Structure 1
Amino acid sequence: MTLFDFGVFPTQTFHLLAATEGTMWHSLADILILLATAIVLGTLAEQLRQSAILGYIAAGTLVGPNLLGWVADRQSIFDLAELGVALLLFAIGLEFSLPRLKRLGRIPLVAGILQIILTLLGGLSVSLLLSFSFPEALAIGAMIALSSTACVVRMLNDRAELDAPHGRTALGILLVQDMAVIPLMLIITALVGKGSAGEIAIQLSISFLLAVVFVAVFYGLFNFILPRLLELSSLRRNRDFPILLAMVMAAGSAWAAHRLGLSPALGAFVAGVLLAISPFATQIRADVQPLKTVLVTLFFSAVGMFGDLNWAVQHLGLVLAVVAAIITGKLLITFGAAWFCGQPWQFALGTGLCLAQVGEFSFVLATVARGTADAPGILSETTFRLIISSTIATLLLTPYLIQLAPVAANLLRQLWDRQPAENESRSPHVDVTDLESSRETNDDLVLILGFGPAGQRVAGELLQVGLKKIVVVDLNHENLRMAEQYGLRSQLGDATQIEVLEHAGLYRSRLVIMTLPSPTVCRQIIYLVRQMSPATTLYVRCRYHLHHWQLLAAGADVIVDEEEHVGECLAKHILDSPLLLQQLLKSNQKPEAGQSPDQT
């Protein structure tokens, strides 16, 4: 017997409580299963010193419809996870201001166009030799031509190689590939029978005009309207508003690009680049970081769901042959295109290794080319499974290929050095260690977190003794303007967020000075600094003596206790006043009642 049998909890009550039962909760369950499995396998991959991306993809394959079947609706999850790619590109775009984007030069643009054309023609030719029909061969070439923006950018960013020569070229080529998604999609749609050549030309012209409109609108929004919004006092007082605004800008730019028929990821990147010139870029990137992390993880898990492990094992030889052909062909084509455009061969090799995989947008092209049960497309079921399996395999190999770039470039340089000296004039020697990182090596940076009166006094004293490599981090616009008057680099941001500290240069700093009044905020920052840069020295302001030992236990090296300091200063001022001190001493030497002056 239960309480329901006695009528204590009527069943109708629980039907009312379950009124929100719907597909959303089923989708949420699928997402939770994917993320939980991704945490487990991603952690296992990290323990084995592999990329967590491998664990995320393996998680999707494990719980997907082709293995355990715990999560079946892969398409809806993949659609949601595409927003993660857009947020990733938006955050990367915030690092690339327009001047910095111009510094990429013509090499990525020309090399990207050459890489797409040559890879498409190569895939088409090989497929025709293998007796595929022309439409199917063209679809295969289009899918192979694209590389993985999400995987490559994530890996390069984690390895701090995004600004290295091969990283910049790889990013530029990926952006060209993202732009090529639209014409490739239109071509495959026409091959399936849903459009003609004239309609494709019209759609391309409309897409170009809409892209110009998109850039113009967002340029005006981010340069004239947004700065006034972010300077409102209500936004400065309540941290919720800037976070919400950041999410609206990041997701809104992707949605606007999608509605205009453009690539959402490319649209988000362009919006990020346009926003990068504002002082709010670092804080906005930090605000979108949590959702970006969740959705990017979900994206790689959704990619893994497309894999059919049983089919891949049954056709293992065929899959391995296709994977080897794709990696070798794309490596050689990308290397040749980058080298032909003037990039030194060491960096061209690194670029080729970074892009020697098939990208996430190939899943979209493959789905369109496959068609539906009611309206079959140009791609057979066997070819579809082969492309999907090969794509996932290349994505799994991508972290190793990117890690291999410096080693392979060293080996190639050693072989090159054995050639006659006249060959050196064609390809000048470049130190391959530049491939590993392009970060600054000096470690004399001083970070001042908080630039109120205390921070300004500290900066003034440091400037007087010749310390000029100072970066100020503050959320108050007026304080940042004051820092600029001091001639210091300043950054708008919340120092309790890792992204803000990284961008400010924590890894290159020798000293961090915290003048913030809140002990809770100071403890959070101390934990972050100790986690990210243990060797950095921490000087921390302590407003009340009560919190002195808490900050010391958190990891601060030097505590400036305001109450102790005030006491010391007051005592010093008293001791430095001879007249007052003499009067006090005389008053203390007066005889007590019942004593004679001689006894005193």
Structure 2
Amino acid sequence: MEHASTSFLPSILLFLGAAVIAVPLFKRIGLGAILGYLVAGVAIGPSGFALFTDTGSIQHIGELGIVLLLFVIGLELQVSRLLAMRRDIFGLGALQLVACALVLGAIAKASGLSLPGAAITGISLALSATAIALQVLNERGELQAPYGQRSFAVLLFQDISVVPILALVPLFAMESAPAHASGSGLATAATMIGAIGAVVLVGRYLLNPFFRILASTGAREVMTAAALLLVLGTALLMQQAGMSMALGAFLAGVLLAESNFRHELEADIEPFRGLLLGLFFMSVGMAIDGALVLRSWPLLLAFALGLAVIKSALVAAVFRLTGSPAFDAMRAGVILSPAGEFAFVLIPLGAASGFLAAGQSDFIRALAAFTMLIGPVAAAAMERALKRIEPPAPTIDENFDGAHGKVLVVGFGRFGQVVSQILRTSGVETTIIDKDVEMIDVATRFGSKVYFGDGARLDVLRAAGAADARVICVAIDDRADAVKIVEMVKAEFPLTEVFARAYDRQHVLALLDAGVDFHMRETFESALSLGRFTLEALGVDNQEAEEIIEDVRDRDARRIVAQQQGGIYAGIDLITSKRLMKPEPLERPDSVGIRLNNDAIRAAEKVKEGEKAG
């Protein structure tokens, strides 16, 4: 009995060991974590050392990683974000996917595949590797660059489009079924529509109250369990209705995108998503036919190079056609050229639906893996080539001559402008940097000197005089970059104090973990001031109102300390606790008091002092 209960441990240790060895190695040589997982899977699978042979069961578990990935993508699809990027998402993204799918599908059809098989192949290879593209952009620090934002929009559209594609493939399979099965096909379609309707109704009316009840208990592990229950439950419902599990998880994420619990759910799901997604890629590596790769690697490599060239050219043409500069278009083309994660979902789905033969499916999956292998290398080579021939930017240089003030302000938005005004009014030498060219132009018209520079880069901070500054004020609205700046400053300039603007409580906790010396939530003090004036308008005297505000401020600080140690739900009792108020009179006063302003109060006090002196 003891042996049965521990028999799963060797498999877990095997997967963890393979990942721990392969992933850091591949990231160190610049090939990315995904390729590390793929190669680790090949190494321990039947085509490698055959340490694990039951690839089918582990692939089913690994598919949960794709399910959780779709849930997180759904969480990110807030209506406001979609509207802000709608032109690039639904214009550029759709044009890229259609153009690449048509060209690659036509090539697959000419290679001998059936029309449905060529369509599945063209769509699968037209999708791009989100993880690889974002990794390259993050490493370059160009995710916020124009071509980085447009590349992200394309990836976002691809992730959205996967959902209907996953739903349509089984429907096309039913359409190609014998005529006598049409009745059952209609029943299946009705079941699918009913399942989607049930998920939408539950998500619209029940999920927020449900999570509100769980949050009130303060048990963080219950929230994590509820998040997994939600994702896996909707995934299972969709699977029972004849659709993909990923579709159910995506719908659950979209329904919670505007929820108050969105960030907490994403944080709870993230560790499971990362591990299971890694397990999925390892299972894909185990399923790759090693004999096929050894036998056909020259052909696979030639096809992968040809695919990368064709797809890069198509993507660059689409970017150029929609307004991107030539060099940005070429960068985006190479970054988006590797086949995406969902190719390893769509290709097996096409094989299971009868559109692809087993040998064709194996070859296309190996081809997708090869494109992932050469993608990061091609992106690095292209970047080196472009830097040699690309003319320097004609606009603003990162020139920091004379930028050595006692205070360095990073960010000149609505928050940084007020901070800078206070410092300059007091005569403090202040250096201000911002990476928004339009904001710098506006500041110049109003007589303010703002230097161009990305504060998330260490070399920019050095050039702007961070080593000589006594205080660095981080006033940017990008939460991740703010935490990154604090970490860099504390590591490189430990004697410099760092004050930072915080977006919310979770951002405060992240900044504290990074070592920030002082933080201020951007709306906290203004909300306290408004609350104080509201109390005074209701007849509460100045001293009482000040005591109430100080009590709220004190409890908020104590709650932050509790959350540092116990998580986001710690110290929840400090929110609802009430301060003992002075007893109200039982009878309504004959006359209503009039609240005096500060000048009137001082004048009244002088009159009283004069009467006493007289």
TM-score, length basis structure 2: 0.58
1:295 aligned onto 2:272: no
Kept after mapping to 1: 8 A contact 2:136/2:376: yes
One of 359, 363, 366 as aligned partner of 1:389: 366
Q: Could you say if the C-alpha distance between residues 206 and 166 of structure 1 is closer, same or farther in structure 2, counting changes exceeding 3 Å? A: farther
Structure-1 residue corresponding to 2:445: none
Asked whether 1:486 is paired with 2:525, we answer yes
- How big is the alpha-carbon RMSD for the aligned residues of Structure 1 and Structure 2? 4.8
Counterpart mapping for 1:27-42 below 5 A: 29-42=10-23
Query: 2:203 — aligned with what?
Result: 218
Correspondence list, 1:161-560, <5 A = 164-182=148-166, 185-186=169-170, 189=173, 211=196, 214-222=199-207, 224-226=208-210, 228-232=212-216, 234=217, 236=218, 238-265=219-246, 267-342=248-323, 347-370=328-351, 377-400=354-377, 414=391, 444-445=473-474, 469-473=501-505, 486-487=525-526, 515-516=557-558
Mapped to 2, the partners of 1:273 and 1:401 lie a distance apart of: 35
CA distance in 2, matches of 1:204, 1:317: 44
The 3 A distance-change label for structure 1 pair 416 and 323 is farther
**Equivalence for 2:492:** none
* Matched AA of 1:396: L
Give 1:135 deviation, angstroms: 5.1
Measure, in 2, the Cα distance between the counterparts of 1:384 and 1:202.
Answer: 30
Q: 1:117 aligns with which of 94, 98, 109?
A: 98
Residue 355 of structure 1, CA deviation: 2.8
SS at structure 2 position matched to 1:121: helix
Is contact 1:142-1:184 (8 Å) kept?
no
- Aligned residue for 1:359, secondary structure, equals coil
Name the structure 2 match of 1:462.
none
Distance 2:87 2:80 in 1: 14
Contact 1:166 1:347 in 2 (8 A): no
Counterpart contact for 1:188–1:369, Cα < 8 Å: no
Equivalent-residue separation in structure 2 for 1:148 and 1:517 (angstroms): 41
Instruction: Give the 3-state SS of the residue equivalent to 2:505 in structure 1.
Output: strand
Gaps of 5+ in 1: 1-15, 418-429, 448-466, 477-481, 490-513, 526-600
The answer as to 2:44 corresponding to 1:63 is: yes
How far does the alpha carbon of each residue in 1:63-89 deviate from its partner, in whole angstroms, 9 at most, with x for none? 111222111222322221122123234
Structure number with the bigger relative contact order (C-alpha 8 A, sep ≥ 6) is 1
What is the SS of the residue equivalent to 1:67? coil
User: Residue type matched to 2:149 in 1?
Assistant: P
Question: Matched residues in 1 for 2:320 and 2:198: separation?
Answer: 35
Q: Secondary structure at the match of 2:51?
A: coil
Uncovered stretches (5+) of structure 2, i.e. residues with no partner: 395-435, 438-452, 462-471, 477-498, 509-520, 529-555, 568-614
CA 1:36–1:244 in 2, change beyond 3 Å: closer, same or farther?
A: same
Give the secondary-structure state (helix, strand or coil) at the position aligned to 2:366. Answer: helix
Tell me how far 1:246 sits from its aligned partner. Answer: 2.9
Partner of 1:511: none
Among 21, 25, 28, the residue aligned to 1:44: 25
How far off its partner does 1:46 sit? 3.4
CA 1:309/1:294 → structure 2, altered by over 3 Å: closer, same or farther?
A: same
Matched with 1:102 is 83
Query: How far is the alpha carbon of 1:300 from its aligned partner?
Result: 1.8
1:78 match: 59
Larger mean Cα displacement after TM superposition, 44-53 or 179-188: 179-188
CA drift at 1:38 = 1.2
What is the rounded CA distance, in whole Å, between the counterparts of 2:192 and 2:380 in structure 1? 37
Q: Is the 8 A contact 2:128 2:155 kept in 1?
A: no
Work out the CA distance in 1 between the residues paired with 2:30 and 2:355.
Answer: 41
Q: Is the 8 A contact 2:199 2:251 kept in 1?
A: no
Q: How many percent identity over aligned positions?
A: 26
1:265–1:395 Cα change, 3 Å: farther
Query: Structure 1 residues 395-404 or 96-105, which shifts more?
Result: 395-404
Q: How far apart are 1:149 and its partner, in Å? A: 4.5
> Normalising by structure 1, what TM-score?
0.59
The CA deviation at 1:184 is 5.5
Q: Classify 1:395/1:100 alpha carbon distance in 2 versus 1 (closer, same or farther; 3 Å).
A: same
2:27 matched to 1:53? Answer: no
1:83–1:295 Cα contact (<8 Å) kept: yes
CA distance in 2, matches of 1:326, 1:400: 15
Query: Alpha-carbon deviation of 1:37?
Result: 0.6
Aligned 8 A contact 2:188 2:242 in 1: no
**Other-structure match for 1:507:** none
Distance in 1 (CA, whole Å) between partners of 2:340 and 2:180 is 26
AA partner of residue 65 (structure 1): P
Q: State the SS of the aligned residue for 2:526.
A: coil
State the one-letter code of the partner of 2:96: Q
